[in-house]
A and B are shown apart, each in its own frame.
Chain A
Amino acid sequence: MLSLILLLISIIAGVLGTLLGLGGGIIVVPALTLLFNVDIRYAVAASLVSIIATSSSGAAVLLKKNLTNIRVASVLELGTVAGALTGFFISTHISAKWLFLSFGFFLFLCSFLILKKREDHISKDDHPWSKKLKLSGHYVNDQGQTSHYQVENIPFGMISMYFAGILSAILGIGSGIFKVIAMDNAMKLPIKVSTATSNFMIGVTAAASAGAYFIRGDIRPELASPVALGIIIGSWLGTKLLTKLSAILLRKIFTFVLFIVSLQMIMKGFKL
């Protein structure tokens, strides 16, 4: 029975993740730890595996829409993988208390970041690395016009991806929100391209630490199976609901829920 409840929660996480452009980890980890009393290290490991499923499913759809900049992703993955390895190393040396507190503060920050309006920042300048590696690209904007964009500030983007990778490995999340902010604000990629490229990269980021957790034995089928299956089903449902639900209203409700859950995670961390 508890497995079915977890499956249902994971489906909801998959739907919300797709509708709000987030991974399921932000819902799955608190659910496992607060509702089912699972140790946070198992919860993080189960969540990372589900993020690979979300990312791969989402990327498969977005690739067909020609929004993903695969070359930029290939470069930035160097930063996220390095960060994920660092994050895994850190996670083996910190206690559950600090994991709860870190996750709680991260959720608290996210509850404000999610509401932040994202506007397109299109750059006319190309970073020298972008010129050498031919990273600039084009996409079809909301008006149906093909728009060309350049890529700025790649070193800053790499450093941001490194820290996003650390968070991903420690907290069991995709860190998509930070990746999109870095690509949108610093590298000046169009918001749709940032979101699609972030989605493409999340799978690799998660795999870097998920592989480590898997070998260590932290990914247990009893936990990870309903989570992974639920996320896969939820992501598929989310793509069907994408045009039918108001994302703005969902964002506001989700922000409120995130805020409450962040406080609960922080309180649990202080109690440990």
Chain B
Amino acid sequence: MKDRLSLELFISRFLTIGVLLSGLFILIGWGSTFKFSANPFFNFEHYDQIPLKDLFLFYFNKKDWFQLCSFLGFSLLIAIPFLRVLFMLFLYLKNKEFSLALISSMVFIGLLAGLVLGMKS
């Protein structure tokens, strides 16, 4: 019971810190590029697929560090569930619960497969 409580507390703290940290990066990025009069949604009325690597290179070459800060924030936010699943996998292995460890590893592989799907689409 005590182990379960400490595990839940650890995951709870991890999730909170993760959200706050990613939120901070997103806020810095967005706040610094915010313009009162502009319509920032004009470019998104029609779908135009530009892969992340091209977007990253565009802002990197432009030295737009604040936009890159936003991307870092989103990367951290998306990474939170990945890390949470990885943590559970190691915990199940440590407790020798190999069935649950196998299931968690399949979930983690599934999450990674999502990234590959995104690259290929």
Which A residues have a C-beta under 8 Å from some C-beta of B? 1-3, 6, 36-39, 41-42, 49, 52-53, 55-57, 59-61, 63-64, 66, 68, 70-71, 74-75, 77-78, 81-82, 84-85, 88-89, 92, 96, 132-133, 203-204, 206-226, 228-229, 232
Q: Are B71 and A221 neighbours in the complex by a CB distance under 8 Å?
A: yes
With contacts A57-B16, A226-B30 known, is A77 near B45, CB below 8 A?
no
Please measure, in the bound complex, the distance between the C-alpha atom of A56 and the C-alpha atom of B45, giving whole angstroms: 30
Do B82 and A207 touch (CB < 8 A)? yes
Chain B residues with CB under 8 Å of A49's CB are: 74, 77-78
How far in angstroms is the closest Cβ of chain B from A28?
13
Chain B residues contacting A63 (CB-CB under 8 Å) are: 8-9, 11-12, 15
Contact with A along B7-49 (1 / 0, CB 8 A): 1110111011011001100110110011011011101111101
Q: Which secondary structure dominates where chain B touches chain A?
A: helix
Q: What are 6 sample pairs from A and B whose C-beta atoms fall under 8 A apart? A: A55-B81, A64-B9, A70-B7, A216-B119, A218-B49, A221-B74
Give Cα distance in the complex from A37 to B111, angstroms: 31
Q: Taking the complex as formed, is B93 at the interface, i.e. its CB lies under 8 A from any CB of chain A?
A: no
Expressed in whole angstroms, the Cα–Cα distance for A22 and B6 within the complex equals 27
Point out the residues of chain B lying under 8 angstroms from A77, CB to CB.
Answer: 85, 107
A6–B104 CA distance with the chains assembled, in angstroms: 36
Complex Cα gap A68–B9 (Å): 12
Q: Give chain B interface residues in 54-108, CB to chain A under 8 Å.
A: 54-55, 67, 70-71, 73-75, 77-78, 80-82, 84-85, 88, 92, 97, 99-100, 103-104, 106-107
Contacts of B30 in A (CB 8 A): 3, 221, 225-226, 229
Residues on A with C-beta less than 8 A from B107 are 74, 77-78, 81, 204
Question: Contacting B100 at CB < 8 Å: which of A6, A61, A133?
Answer: A133
A236 to B110, CA, bound (A): 30
Could you tell me if B119 and A204 are in contact, using CB atoms closer than 8 angstroms?
A: no
Contacting pair B15 A215 (CB below 8 A) = no
In the complex, are the beta carbons of A222 and B44 less than 8 A apart?
Answer: yes
B117 and A212 contact, CB distance less than 8 A = yes
By the criterion CB–CB under 8 Å, are A70 and B54 in contact? no
Q: Which of A38, A52, A204, A225 contacts B85 (CB 8 A)?
A: A204
Inter-subunit contact B81/A66 (CB<8 Å) = no
